[in-house]
Amino acid sequence: LVSRKKKAEDTVITVKGVEFGGKSPILIAGPCSVESYEQVRAVAENHAKRGLRTIRGGAYKPRTSPYDFQGLGEEGLQILKRIGDEFNLVTISEIVTPADLEMATKYIDVIQIGARNMQNFELLKAAGRVNKPILLKRGLSATIEEFIYAAEYIVSEGNTQVMLCERGIRTYEKATRNTLDISAVPLLKQETHLPVFVDVTHSTGRRDLLLPCAKAGFAIGSDGVMVEVHPDPDVALSDAKQQLNIPQFNEFVDELLASGLYKG
Ligand code: PEP
Ligand code: MN
């Protein structure tokens, strides 16, 4: 169902007037985790000034260690709802269990399924039965074929509003957190009719590589780039090392605009 052979034209998902997979590629930016209303608000206020319409933030964090910050849960989603309403932003947040999907639809606009859950088939099937767009991330060790089948799980249950996100895969290379598989973008665009995004934060894990990788993402035809921005990354409860602060984020956006690859 997600194949180009089944449907030749691109799937465009419109939320609050923002087109995912439309003519203009977009930026999906926001903190790694929702930590407080004030923290998300600082990012959202800057988004509004810059004309950005989409904000991300995790409320359920799939952390490697059980002793790391696990997210605010439903309270985090409530914060996103308040921010989304206040600034007219599209909100994106990860849900990790089928039991929370219905509840999440009350608060957020796009449900993210994270890399670690790309082959959580019960979660995929349940996501196929909700009436919200799903942003599906590529698994850490998933082939393109497995990634496409994961999307198929969602669509086959009835939810056609699915978008894909390349977020780096595990290789032997240790200089970056993961290896950004940039060729996945045109491949997925050829093989499927779904919108395709590139997450430059979780793929590289390096602040100094965010801009060149974002440029590569736009240049190679992605429908948008995801990047993390936090008012004070040094004290962030997750991904402190690679989030941009707000001035750095504004410079990042300016450089992308100057490159002509991203039109705003
Ligand atoms: C995230 O986007 O917050 C995240 C945890 O990403 P991933 O699932 O790609 O690791
Ligand atoms: Mn993160």
Which ligand has an atom closest to residue 244 CA?
Answer: 2
Q: How far is CA 79 from CA 52, 72, 243, in A?
A: 18, 10, 20
Q: pLDDT band at residue 209, thresholds of 50, 70 and 90?
A: very high
User: Ligand 1: does its nearest atom lie under 6 Å from the Cβ of 137?
Assistant: yes
* Residue-averaged pLDDT of the chain: 98
Atom of ligand 1 nearest to the CA of 114: 8
ipTM: 0.99
In terms of Cα–Cα distance, which of 102, 85, 80, 196 is closest to 147? 196
Best probe residue, ligand 1, of 54, 69, 94, 242 (max atoms within 8 Å of C-beta): 94
Residues 203/178, Cβ–Cβ less than 8 Å? yes
In terms of Cα–Cα distance, which of 120, 87, 85 is closest to 101? 120
Atom 10 of ligand 1 has which residue's CA nearest to it? Answer: 115
Tokens representing residue 170 in the block = 């595990």
pTM as predicted = 0.98
Which ligand has an atom closest to residue 118 CA?
Answer: 1
Q: Which residue has the tokens 């926001």?
A: 30
In terms of Cα–Cα distance, which of 60, 66, 55 is closest to 28? 55
pLDDT tens-digit readout, 83-108: 999 999 999 999 999 999 999 999 99
The pLDDT value given to residue 92? 98
- Spell out the residues 6+ positions from residue 141 whose beta carbon is closer than 8 angstroms to its own: 169, 170
Q: How many residues does the chain have?
A: 264
User: Ligand 1: does its nearest atom lie under 6 Å from the Cβ of 202?
Assistant: yes
Structural fold of domain 13-258: TIM Barrel (3.20.20)
